[in-house]
Amino acid sequence: MNSPAAAAPASTPVAPRWFGPGAERKSLRQHLRELTWARMLWTFLYPARGQRIMPTVSGILLISVALGIGSAAYNTANNILFITLSLLLACLILSGVLSMLNFAKVSWRLVPSGPFRAGQMGTIGIELRNTKKILPTYGLWFDVHSRSEPKSRRFVLRERLDPQGGQARLDWTWRPARRGTEVVELGAVGSLFPFGFLRKVLACEVRAEILVWPAPVEYQRFTAASPSRRQSGHAVNRIGHTGDLLALRRYAQGDSHRLIHWKASARLRHLMVRQFSSEQQEGYSLYLDSTAELWTDDARFELLCSFAATLAENLFTSGRLGTVAIDQSSPRPIRSVRDLEGFFDDLAHLTPREATGRPSQAPFPVSSPRPASGSSSLTLTFAPDGHRGVAAFINGEKAAAA
């Protein structure tokens, strides 16, 4: 797979859809038409695919006691024993009916709270809602696992889920191991309600694909060519917080609220921010070559992605990151947090580019994108360093190493 091209404009995130019995939208007439004694009895005898009703240890003991009392009642014709047997059987039937009503009109969904970075803690939420009119829901549990962690983890709802739109949330603090696309699945939903005699389980294949950014790494800086500072009073035509007003543009996520032009926003009915020229130190351009001939070791390639992400983040925080480029893609300016996150998304998907048959071991590739005319920003390139390391170079001179 080749390196990704320039990122497309970010779209509005879509809320995850709901799953479960409560996610099915049916009219009252349809519910009444389907609610027949024959259908209800057949549901208990032959449940739908993916549904299981299994007795617990206490349920097996109760069934054993009921069989013993039933045998004694049949042999002795004792009415008290028959009444006791009927009570035990009624308790089992009531447990099954209430467990079915406990799941009725309850829905759930997986809501990842990103962003996620390899080696750092993130939160994945399980949101629930109850649309029943009268009955609350108790004691649900959820089995969740990921592709990298096949062993399921169980989360129990210990609070009451009220009717008429009651909502709850269970959080899973999760640490992804590697960058890339991770899949989190909600495998099963179960309940021991009400008496704990029966375990009712609904198989639900709820999946959420999560993009994991490269992990931050520590690196060492070296004395290398640094950007020169422009003469005092010379404005740079790039976004900043000082200097002359360049233009107005639409608000993007990550922009400072202090830059909002309120009069223009009120006139145009959407937020507009001001762009100023900047009288500050010039920045860097990052170029990343992912050729498989250059990066033959998978561990070193992972270090390359983490090093590039960490370096880009630090340069952006200090206001010295100009553009980024991967392989043959055109350089992209990094003006906001959204642009930086787009670069992280590209690094999360990045794999070594297919070999071209021509070895490339130079620390400063000749094919690296050059800055635009009139700009003296420095280009940072990456190459293997030593046995396991990765270094960043400026004009062939080592500037940093991880």
| pLDDT tens string 302-356 | 999 999 999 999 999 888 899 999 998 899 999 899 999 999 999 999 999 886 5
Contact 127, 155 (CB under 8 A): no
Residues 187, 115, single domain; the answer is yes
Among 275, 32, 242, 17, smallest CA distance to 127 is for 17
List the domain range (segments joined by +) for residue 335: 214-229+282-402
Nearby residues of 394 by Cβ (< 8 Å), 6 or more positions away: 224, 225, 378, 379, 380, 381
Lowest mean pLDDT, pick from 179-193, 225-239, 270-284, 289-303: 225-239
**Among 213, 241, 258, residue at a domain's last position:** 213
What 325-328 contacts at long range (C-beta under 8 Å, 24+ apart), as own/partner pairs, is 325/285, 325/286, 325/287, 325/288, 325/368, 325/369, 326/3, 326/4, 326/287, 326/288, 326/290, 326/350, 327/2, 327/3, 327/288, 327/289, 327/290, 327/291, 327/353, 328/3, 328/367
- Encode pLDDT of 14-34 as tens digits: 678 888 888 865 554 555 455
Q: In Å, how far from its chain's centre is CA 39?
A: 40
Number of folded domains that form the chain: 3
Is residue 183 included in any domain, yes or no?
A: yes
Domain annotation covers residue 251 = yes
In this structure, are 245 and 308 located in the same domain?
A: no
Q: What SS3 class is residue 148?
A: coil
φ, ψ of residue 204 in degrees (nearest 5) = -135, 120
pLDDT in tens, 258-268: 788 888 888 88
Same-domain check for residues 274 and 306 = no
Nearest Cα neighbor of 343 from 1, 5, 29 is: 5
- Angle, vertex CA 81, rays to CA 75 and CA 87, nearest 5: 135
Q: Of 185, 213, 241, which residue constitutes the final position of a domain?
A: 213
Which pLDDT does position 395 carry in this prediction? 84
Q: What is the pLDDT of residues 69-107, one digit of tens each?
A: 999 999 998 999 999 999 999 988 888 888 888 988 899
Is residue 8 assigned to a domain? no
- Order the strands of the 321-326 sheet from edge to edge: 220-221, 397-401, 389-394, 378-385, 284-288, 321-326, 332-333
